[in-house]
């Protein structure tokens, strides 16, 4: 997580605390000012700095301030796998909020049944429509699998970390011969590595509900989300509740009124957690947060 997402991460952490997690909260950062690290330390168990030793071995198409560090994202996987003081690690992107406690994932029987699995990861997919979602929320057999790295469950081991380092080194050499570009950055490589190990275990997509994906796909996914309320809201893509211009983009690009209404409702969930996060930090005597940094969520309460 870079500087542009520091306060966004505070919102995610606040939501995890609010739903009653009993687990440690470790924040992964790079190139963060001391004041922002201090702010995160007020609400997290610890702050870990990501090594830039293994940047993504390919070009990343995403541009702009919010995405300028995408090429570093591949470095987070080796770091996660080296958190061996924990038996399991549940990774969450900074642009998520939780609406329910999901601590049960730490004890769920998720190890893949295939006997040849060296390492495994649990994650979710981005469905195109409701037909790509099975009854339990996992990918239907007909689904085109698109791994979404916004929520990932792993079991850290040094062996797995070394294997992933080696995988990235090999991909870097391949890129020198035949350069390639991807929009999906670390997600594409993460899924490729674990698929090669026979170790992806799919979770229900309510555990990582892409609000922008819902907006792109239309009413069918919105109706599914109403029937199966998301436990984790993920504000990836172009719908960022903390950027006013993206609210306009949402209204302009999403024609269906029902989808727009649900998207706004989800955005207001984010704003309520953000307001709570900023007020909490402002009340801490060690914080330098100013009153005008607190989000005004009054627009949400009126819709």
Mean pLDDT of 201-216: 92
Quick one: tokens of 292?
Answer: 């005008």
197 token code pair: 């190990």
pLDDT confidence of residue 136? 93
The residue among 169 and 51 whose pLDDT is bigger is: 169
pLDDT band at 41 (very low <50, low <70, confident <90, very high): confident
pLDDT at 110 over 60: yes
Give the three-state DSSP class for 119: coil
At residue 291 the predicted structure's pLDDT band, cuts being 50, 70 and 90, is very low
Structure tokens at 72: 């570093």
Is residue 11 over pLDDT 80? yes
102 has a pLDDT exceeding 50: yes
The pLDDT-based confidence of 300 (bands split at 50, 70, 90) is low
In angstroms, the CA 39 to CA 14 distance is 13
**What average pLDDT score do residues 23-29 get?**
90
Q: Is the pLDDT of residue 299 over 90?
A: no
Contact 99, 269 (CB under 8 A): yes
Asked whether residue 58 carries a pLDDT value surpassing 60, the answer given is no
Q: Which of 33-42, 104-113, 131-140, 254-263 has the highest mean pLDDT?
A: 131-140
Looking at per-residue confidence, does 71 or 206 come out higher? 206
Q: What is the pLDDT of residue 60?
A: 52
134-159: pLDDT as tens digits: 999 999 987 777 788 899 999 999 99
pLDDT at 79: 83
288 — pLDDT class (breaks 50, 70, 90): low
DSSP state of 153: E
Percent of the chain whose pLDDT exceeds 70: 74
The confidence score (pLDDT) of residue 31 equals 75
Cα–Cα distances in angstroms (integers) from residue 92 to residues 9, 255, 265, in the given order: 10, 30, 21
What does the pLDDT read at residue 33? 84
How many CA within 13 A on the CB side of residue 130? 12
Predicted pLDDT at 303 = 43
Structural domains of the chain in order of their starting residue, each with its CATH number: 3-301 (3.90.550.10)
Lowest mean pLDDT among 142-146, 218-222, 236-240: 142-146
Q: Where are the beta strands (DSSP E) in 178-231?
A: 181-182, 200-202, 209-210
Contact by Cβ (8 Å): 122, 177: no
Phi, psi of 301 (to 5 degrees): -65, -20
């Amino acid at each position: 997580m870079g500087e542009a997402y520091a306060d966004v991460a505070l919102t995610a952490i606040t939501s995890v605390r609010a739903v009653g997690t009993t687990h440690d909260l470790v924040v992964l950062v790079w190139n963060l000012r001391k004041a922002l690290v201090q702010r995160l330390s007020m609400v997290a168990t610890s702050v870990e700095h990501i090594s830039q030793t293994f940047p993504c071995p390919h070009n990343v198409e995403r541009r702009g301030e919010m995405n300028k560090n995408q090429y570093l994202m591949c470095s987070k996987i080796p770091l996660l796998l080296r958190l061996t003081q924990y038996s399991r690690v549940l990774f969450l992107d900074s642009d998520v909020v939780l609406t329910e406690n999901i601590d049960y994932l730490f004890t769920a029987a998720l190890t893949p049944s295939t006997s040849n699995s060296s390492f495994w990861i649990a994650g979710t997919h981005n469905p195109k429509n409701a037909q790509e979602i099975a009854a339990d929320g996992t990918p239907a057999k007909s689904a085109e699998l698109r791994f979404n790295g916004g929520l990932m469950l792993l079991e850290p081991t040094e062996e797995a970390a070394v294997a992933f380092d080696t995988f990235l080194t090999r991909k870097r050499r391949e890129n020198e011969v035949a350069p390639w570009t991807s929009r999906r950055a670390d997600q594409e490589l993460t899924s490729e590595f674990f698929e090669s190990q026979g170790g992806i275990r799919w979770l229900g997509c309510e555990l990582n509900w892409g609000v922008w994906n819902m907006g792109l796909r239309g009413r069918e996914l919105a109706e599914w989300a109403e029937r199966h309320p998301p436990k984790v809201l993920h504000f990836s893509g172009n719908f960022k509740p903390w950027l006013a211009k993206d609210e306009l983009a949402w209204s302009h690009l999403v024609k269906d009124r029902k989808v727009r209404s649900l998207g706004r409702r989800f955005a207001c969930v984010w704003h309520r957690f953000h307001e709570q996060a900023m007020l909490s930090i402002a009340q801490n005597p060690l914080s330098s947060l100013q009153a005008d940094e607190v989000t005004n969520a009054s627009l949400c309460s009126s819709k």
